[in-house]
Chain A
């Protein structure tokens, strides 16, 4: 099966039905390994045991931006190529992105209180991530409020691409403005500044959460395809009812 074959929703359903059990198993194993490594990681000399929050905060923060990136690519697929699965992919990803962003905000808050002395600060990094969360909610509301799927798809795609401007703002906010949030310590020029004892559990957890997203996204896309089939069949049923009446 080639990649282009997956553009067909029926083939996508068949392919993902075979793939999902393997993805679930791989995600569960990686999460177990990552959690074990996180539990066994030593305390940081400054932050003590609170460094363990990093192993769940950072993967969720990465995914909050990555998911919007995936949705932006899907938005291009909707607007430029009118790919049948593009809007399905974007719509299925939005609640997952909102959940990961929510978790990044909550775990960041719970990490900030003991380290900074406050749960929240209206600085550039925290505020731009909060805006990202609100944009996810706005997109979900848009898809739910527009009845016609093709109109909703185009409007959501435009809003997604406009919202992508926020991604570099989030990434570089710690460099452009004075902020309580620490600068990048993993993805930076010159390599990671994290000690290997913290870097390895973090990378395993990041991979595990990325697999979790992939698994949930494919499952949610399958649901969305089925939902559109149900809608199409209900419309056929209603039209048949009108003709009979």
Chain B
């Protein structure tokens, strides 16, 4: 497959998309681990969630 005289522009386009998508996946995965770790720490310290909360805080 020949990309012709503008190969640099085509390759750069695909590379930047790959880089940003990989960064997004890594950010979400790292964030998930961080939140799970903090939740575990709080639960191990005996902190329990309240059942009666404000509507916006229901999460």
- Interface residues, chain A, CB within 8 Å of chain B? 9, 39-40, 43, 48-50, 52-53, 56-57, 60, 82, 84-85, 87-88, 95-96, 99, 102-103, 106-107, 110-111, 113-114, 149-150, 153, 212, 216, 219-220, 222-230, 232-234, 236-237, 240
Contact = CB atoms under 8 A, between A and B. Distances in A.
Contacts, number: 117
Given A84-B59, A212-B21, A53 B13 contact: yes
A229 B4 contact: no
Nearest to A13: B59
A153 B9 contact: no
A51 B53 CA distance: 54
Given A107-B17, A226-B32, A9 B38 contact: no
Contact of A230 (B14, B25, B32, B35): B35
Contacts of B7: 49
A237 B43 CA distance: 11
Given A149-B56, A224-B59, A106 B24 contact: no
With most chain B CB atoms within 10 A of its CB, the pick from A9, A57, A110, A149 is: A110
B32 A84 contact: no
Given A48-B4, A150-B56, A212-B21, A233 B16 contact: no
Contacts of B27: 95
Closest CB pairs A-B (n = 6) = A150-B56, A226-B35, A84-B58, A228-B59, A114-B6, A49-B4
With most chain A CB atoms within 10 A of its CB, the pick from B5, B42, B50, B54 is: B42
B24 to A, nearest CB: 6
A237 B49 contact: no
A153 B42 CA distance: 25
**Which of under 10, 10 to 19, 20 to 34, or 35 or more describes the interface residues of B?**
35 or more
Q: How would you classify the secondary structure of chain B's contact residues: helix, strand, loop or mixed?
A: helix
Contacts of B58: 9, 84
B32 A111 contact: no
Contacts of B1: 39-40
A48 B4 CA distance: 7
A40 B1 CA distance: 8
Contacts of A106: 13, 16
A192 B14 CA distance: 25
Interface string B32-59: 1001101100110101111001111111
A82 B54 CA distance: 11
Contact of A233 (B4, B25, B49): B49
Contact of A103 (B17, B39, B59): B17
B12 to A, nearest CB: 6
Nearest to B43: A233
B36 A226 contact: yes
